[in-house]
Amino acid sequence: MQASGIKNIIFDLGGVILDLSVDHTLQSFSDLSGLKKNEVEKIFHSTPEFLVYEKGGITDDEFRDVVRHVYKINASDAALDKSWNAMLRGMPLDKLALLDKLKTKYNVFLLSNTNNIHLDYINRIMMPSVSADRVLDDYFHRAYYSHLMFMRKPDAEIFERVLSDNGLDAAETLFLDDNASNVAGAESVGIQTVHVTSPNLMLEYFNER
């Protein structure tokens, strides 16, 4: 490992482990609404409820109603969920295998900004296709999800919670995330970091490719 004195590793999910493409969800919302994709994206970034949902501040049904309202569409729950989950592109087996290997040497954690619809889809649809008898949590000593914690990255409090819950020394902890703001949030509490800038960086960093 390139970082020194590491005993604990905290992974982000989307863009680090899970293949992620928000563009696919934007295109799907565009198809449902008839709006141009750039307009869909503008609404996406200017609607606070998308972040509120990640912090568990609204229910699944309330979130779906927000999507219907801001995009002026009349779609079923299933159609909305399909569009919302379109960004979740795949769970690479080699990355899951690496997590199992790292668990034998380090304390391995997941810290994800996510939501109930996504997590349900990951465990009910995606995970069975790659591992018949395991859910996502099984690949970590402990998994943390923003919507269950009522807080989200990059706020310092969410990193402090993971550290305090598990008695971790920030200086002995490494955090990998594809979002520069989240990396800065971890650094603000003294955690060592890796900014993931390519899909296979996780594998490359731990010399698995």
Q: What is the pLDDT of residues 66-108, one digit of tens each?
A: 999 999 999 999 999 999 999 999 999 999 999 999 999 999 9
Does one domain contain both 197 and 100?
yes
CATH of the domain at 31: 1.10.150.240
The residue among 38, 57, 85 that closes a domain is 85
Mean pLDDT calculated for residue range 38-50: 97
**Domain count within the chain:** 2
> Who's near 135: CB < 8 A, 6+ residues apart?
123, 127
Quickly count: other Cβ atoms within 10 Å of residue 56's Cβ.
17
- Chain segment 1-40, per-residue pLDDT in tens: 567 799 999 999 999 999 999 999 999 999 999 999 999 9
pLDDT of amino acid 209: 41
Counting Cα atoms < 13 Å in the Cβ hemisphere of 183 gives 12
Does one domain contain both 127 and 100?
yes
Does one domain contain both 75 and 118?
no
Cα distance between residue 29 and residue 79, in whole Å: 10
Does one domain contain both 55 and 94?
no
Does one domain contain both 76 and 101?
no
Structural domain that includes position 27: 22-85
Task: Give the residue among 116, 48, 59, 131 at the shortest CA–CA distance from 85.
Answer: 116
Cα distance between residue 75 and residue 183, in whole Å: 37
pLDDT of amino acid 94: 94
CA distances from 107 to 39, 83, 103, 141 (A): 43, 35, 6, 6
Q: What is the reported pTM?
A: 0.94
Region label for 80, one of left (φ > 0), alpha (ψ between -120 and 50) or beta (otherwise): alpha
Does one domain contain both 13 and 112?
yes
The most confident of the ranges 126-130, 148-152, 198-202 is 148-152
The H or E element that residue 98 is part of is: helix 93-103
